[in-house]
């Protein structure tokens, strides 16, 4: 019975973060330097990489007390790049889920396929079958559309996977993921929000969009829209 209770409790826990600070917000020549032509797929800035490492350190602290079972990331490089140090620290693969990707104002999206991502990010799990496939996505014109799509995808992921999950998304998709689990606002770069389910209802546990683990709190707080 105790084992059943522990298993149930693991189903009642979700963590949410947003990718780190983006290079395109700091360097207008980033795309020419990157050389890949995917203008909707910028990587992290140096500050974003620092934020990802600090997030990894915080997630490791949590993991030692409450083991995380899954890391589920948007396929855009800035999210997978944020998830990578967390995955390395926790010894977990990265499950790539197009259902929680960025708002699709650029369509078709330029994100890489999972097999291509794995070449640069070895923690990517090529065996994971996403809830939403690339070909099922469609163009979007508002945060509301992206949030609703991500909300549905995250809910389905939570129902399918056993154990605590860390979702790594974007502004609009994180809004939708938050709405799936009892929140209703934007979060900042590499912030951390915890959601718990009690009595059949999800709620936020602790600070929403917590930045206590970040050395650059101002950039994260300023991105929360």
Which pLDDT score is estimated for 8?
46
Tell me which DSSP letter residue 191 carries.
-
CA separation (Å) from 142 to 7, 77, 146, 170, 212? 37, 22, 7, 13, 30
Q: How far is CA 91 from the centre of its chain?
A: 17
Vertex 179: Cα angle to 176 and 180 (nearest 5): 90
User: Model's pTM, two decimal places?
Assistant: 0.94
Vertex 209: Cα angle to 181 and 126 (nearest 5): 65
Tens digit of each residue's pLDDT, the chain (225 residues): 444 444 446 678 999 999 999 987 876 776 777 768 787 788 999 999 999 999 999 999 999 999 999 999 999 999 999 999 999 999 999 999 999 999 999 999 999 999 999 999 999 999 999 999 999 999 999 999 999 999 999 999 999 999 999 999 999 999 999 999 999 999 999 999 999 998 889 999 999 999 999 999 999 999 998
Tell me which DSSP letter residue 11 carries.
T
Closest C-alpha among 77, 76, 73, 98 to residue 86: 73
């Amino acid at each position: 019975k105790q084992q059943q209770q522990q298993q149930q409790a693991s189903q009642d826990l979700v963590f949410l973060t947003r990718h780190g600070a983006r290079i395109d917000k700091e360097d207008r020549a980033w795309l020419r330097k990157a050389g890949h032509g995917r203008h909707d797929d910028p990587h992290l800035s140096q500050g974003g990489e620092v934020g990802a490492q600090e997030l990894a350190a915080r997630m490791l602290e949590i993991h030692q007390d409450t083991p995380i079972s899954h890391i589920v990331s948007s396929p855009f490089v800035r999210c997978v790049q944020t998830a990578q140090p967390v995955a390395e620290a926790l010894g977990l693969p990265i499950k790539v889920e197009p259902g929680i990707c960025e708002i699709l104002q650029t369509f078709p999206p330029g994100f890489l396929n999972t097999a291509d991502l794995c070449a640069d990010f070895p923690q990517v799990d090529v065996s994971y079958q996403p809830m939403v496939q690339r070909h099922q996505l469609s163009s979007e014109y508002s945060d509301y559309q992206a949030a609703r799509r991500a909300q549905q995808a995250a809910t389905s992921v939570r129902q399918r996977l056993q154990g605590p999950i860390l979702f790594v998304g974007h502004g609009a998709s994180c809004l939708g993921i938050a709405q799936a689990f009892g929140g209703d606002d934007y979060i900042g770069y590499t912030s951390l929000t915890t959601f718990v389910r009690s009595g059949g209802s999800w709620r936020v546990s602790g600070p929403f969009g917590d930045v206590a683990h970040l050395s650059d709190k101002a950039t994260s707080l300023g991105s929360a829209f």
